[in-house]
Amino acid sequence: MIDDSTEVKAIFNKIAPVYDQLNDLLSLGIHKIWKQMAVMWSDPNYGSTCLDLCCGSGDLAYLLAKSVGSKGQVFGVDFSVEQLAIARNRQPPLLDKISPIHWVEADALSLPFADNYFDCATMGYGLRNVSDIPLCLQELYRVLKPNAKAAILDMHCPSNSAIRWFQKWYLDTVVVPVARNLGLTKEYAYISPSLTKFPTGIKQIELAYKAKFVKAKHYPMLGGMMGILVITK
């Protein structure tokens, strides 16, 4: 997690053109499966109004739109104008069978929505990068309807030392060199230190309860290198 939100915004604006390609590399393409799991665990229904917080280039938002059908609504929210531009310009599949998607430039710590507005929410690779995780969870709680669920997908620092070593090796010897060739060394070198500062799954559950969520469960994946926090208001 980087403390300076202006710096974080600058990073995500700069990496926007190659964000999807590097996500494929970073996860060996498996991120698409994890995103499908996050959408499933957020429990969207036909006609639901959904939030994709820190939507980036829109992967989760489009999956939500497909899930809720033409009668639903999806709001993709990000503070990176460049990421939102890419999301808006994507060619969605099955255009007539998905809900409208509203792309909103906004801060995850101060959402421009009324209380109890959304039926469900997703968040992919965003919680680790906000400057105030407790406040972000409080805002998410505020805008969700009672009994609504949110699924939060992110990278984690594994507790197993061997897996932790592999993760660092992969980041340092595969991901960062590729990013360096694209002129993005600084933007991707920050990932490794951000993981060590990111709360563990157990701590995320504690923070969710402090934000007044009534249920919280964390699902570690890929040996703990990834995880999905599922919370219920």
For residue 102, give the CATH number of its domain: 3.40.50.150
**What pLDDT score does 6 carry?**
66
**What pLDDT score does 12 carry?**
61
**What pLDDT score does 40 carry?**
97
Q: Residue 170 domain-assigned?
A: no
Give CA–CA dist 107/129, Å, rounded.
12
Is the pTM higher than 0.85? The answer reads yes
Q: Residue 186 domain-assigned?
A: no
Q: Residue 90 domain-assigned?
A: yes
Helix (H) / strand (E) containing 50: strand 49-53
Give the number of domains in the chain. 1
Which residue in the block uniquely carries the two structure tokens 């938002």?
61
Q: Residue 117 domain-assigned?
A: yes
Structure tokens that stand for 53 in this block: 């917080």
Cα 164–Cα 149–Cα 83 angle in degrees, nearest 5: 65
Dump the DSSP string for 61-97.
HHHHHHHH-TT-EEEEEES-HHHHHHHHHS--SSGGG
Give CA–CA dist 158/222, Å, rounded.
9
Domain boundaries, position 47: 5-156+195-232
Q: Residue 175 domain-assigned?
A: no
Give CA–CA dist 87/77, Å, rounded.
10
Could you state, in chain order, the average pLDDT of each consecutive group of 10 residues for the chain (233 residues)? 55 61 69 91 96 92 91 93 86 63 95 98 93 96 98 92 89 78 68 86 97 97 93 98
Q: Residue 174 domain-assigned?
A: no
Q: Residue 123 domain-assigned?
A: yes
Q: Residue 169 domain-assigned?
A: no
CB 29 within 8 A of CB 51: no
Q: Is 183 left (phi over 0), alpha (psi -120 to 50) or beta?
A: left
